Chain A
Amino acid sequence: MAEPARQIASDGSYPDAGGHFGVFGGKFVSETLMPALEELEAAWRKHLADPGFVARLDSDLAHFVGRPSPLYFAENLSDRAGGARIVLKREDLNHTGAHKINNTVGQALLARAMGKQRVIAETGAGQHGVATATVAARLGQECVVYMGSEDIRRQAVNVYRMKLLGAEVISVDAGSRTLKDALNEAMRDWVTNVDDTFYVLGTVAGPHPYPAMVRDFNAVVGREARGQMLEEYGRLPSALVACVGGGSNAMGLFHPFVEDRKVGMYGVEAAGRGLGGHEHAASLCAGRIGVLHGSRTYLLDDDAGQIRDTHSISAGLDYPGVGPEHAWLKDSGRAQYVGITDEEAMAAFHELTRREGIMPALESAHAVAYGMKLASELGADDIVLVNLSGRGDKDINTVAELEGIEF
């Protein structure tokens, strides 16, 4: 049985009533969206206090998603790193192959409870789009997914999966043709069709209540992991490691450990071709505070305040902003944020595949790469818990292309 979702409601301390995490977060959206956000927040609070809703969510997480996901001691990888033991939280084993479904199951149930028959989503790597299309198929909801045309090219398999599931995938040709542009377009759809449409946002970014709501739906990952660590290892890990694009898998893992001050937290951003230039997507490592997509957070922009095009080998990390709670964890010093380059992530992809027989998503490979680095700096008594947020099947074409292989 999955961890009960009734613990899902946040403890009320963060964010504040306006959705602020310190100076971060908030609701920087057009007035046309404000009532929709207020309606969503009210519904979220109401239904998560409803035992019937919570029971249905718990049941779906257990029987449809396949929770709990196991912890796996990656012994060969640990030997290779030399130092701490590396333990993987196997979110790659979830239905649809990533952590994203924890959130979409929750939001789609919420959409149904609110009487909204149409769900829309933005997607980068396609995992969130697939996860949304999957639950929409099951609940009989009309589903429209916005995806940048560059990402459609990179993630053709996921596009086809969404179509098989009955979703309409709309190609977005504006800007950098990636996740940020898909998010802009989904917001436009929502503001136009707000009466019958629920926007299933896929990460802990965007205007309040999304950062808190998506965190709470994904916090099942951290709650499970914390319980499993105590049960199976008799202790908490020395450090948590998770990749950060918008930051939903990392926040889901981190959140239940925030009060465990001895547990280190490391968010791993995409350093792309290096943090020295602009070909990366590391907003926390190399960005500054600004306002994007409805919240104040760290972001990548130029001196005129225009949002920069980003680069990462992994579509899911290729985003110029980051969830506001991560910005707050960074500034408060509670979490550290580091960068892993395309090259390092690719190396980790191969290491995990060859040594453990587990093929990680390229996003998750960033976390694996840093997990190995960190493990090598720690002692044999330490445990590094890496969130293996997704599986690599979707990335086969990208990997093959890099190696010069044509099918």
Chain B
Amino acid sequence: MIDNLKNIIDYLSTPTISFTILTVMFPFLFPPTDWFDKISRKFGIWRVWTNTGGLILFVLTTAFFYMGFNDDNFSIILNKPDNFPIIMMIYTMFFFTWYGMKKSYINDRRIDRGKKPNEYHDPDDKVLVWPDLVYIEFIALLLFTVFLIVWSILVAAPLEEPANPSVTPNPSKAPWYFLGLQEMLVYYDPWLAGVLFPTFIILGMCAIPYMDINPKGDGYYSFKERRVGYSIFMYGWLVLWIYLIVIGTFFRGPNWNFYGPFEWWDPHKLEVLNNVNLSEYFWVIMLNQPLPSNVILRESVGFLVTILYLFVLPVFLAKTYLKNMLKEYGPVRYVFLMLMGLSMLSLPIKMYLRWFFNLKYIVAIPEYFFNI
């Protein structure tokens, strides 16, 4: 019975399935439009953001980790001292996302009824920093210090064998907070996943206040008033960053193969990874002829697809579906949002192309290290 459950969890957690489930569920958990909201309410999905939902979430997560610590295979991974922060991350991210959303839903209902949000107090009714805030800070600081010292006494900081440049451990992983990037590296070339995307992430994050021109929801928890931007951010944050870190930590084993949480990390596990470039699909498989020797001609299809996606698609959208958005946001914001949004969207797209078509690169010019 337990073994069956473990097998099911192993199966469900393969990236193909878990990522799809998360992506499909996501708009119902953070509904960006009325339609999603209606479905979310009809099936009671919104109840995740209530006390009952939070409790169920907590029990499920804890049960999962309880099973994990009692499992021969998973406990090896979970007991690695450097993986404890990830468990902490999962709990805190779950808790605080849930907590913030719960407060948002309560505030949304209040605003619908024409009331002020929960955080509102009479502006003249102020509290003194000494003692009201200083004591809270002091208590928070004390509690955290105690937590840190207890943690430090219980768990020794990891120290492996001395550095040896000629022996690469299998698997070798970046620090956990960069595992999202390392996971992207499976799908994208280093210059994209390691350089361009991080730059875009930092730039895009800095630009959020300048791109989000919706003045509502400033200074209190709310979702409905700013649901589109909110759900896009949350998708990037929870699925494309946190989830990828969890995958990279718990589910990536020797040779960077995927292993279910309860699976044994067998270093000889074979996975067929015969990836094919778009140019080969087009010239060899579709047109049944050898690859042209001219690089530009060889990769012309890839270039065409990339240009269509990055440059023609935004223009097309601006003339049709997103006409109002262009008018409202102005050309500069529109172009920037499209560039960032399409780059972000390109990650799941490339993931699915890899999973379903074994597509390696859309444009592949290894001679000049230019692969997309």
Q: Do the two shown chains form a genuine complex with each other? A: no
Q: Give chain A's interface residues, CB within 8 Å of chain B.
A: none
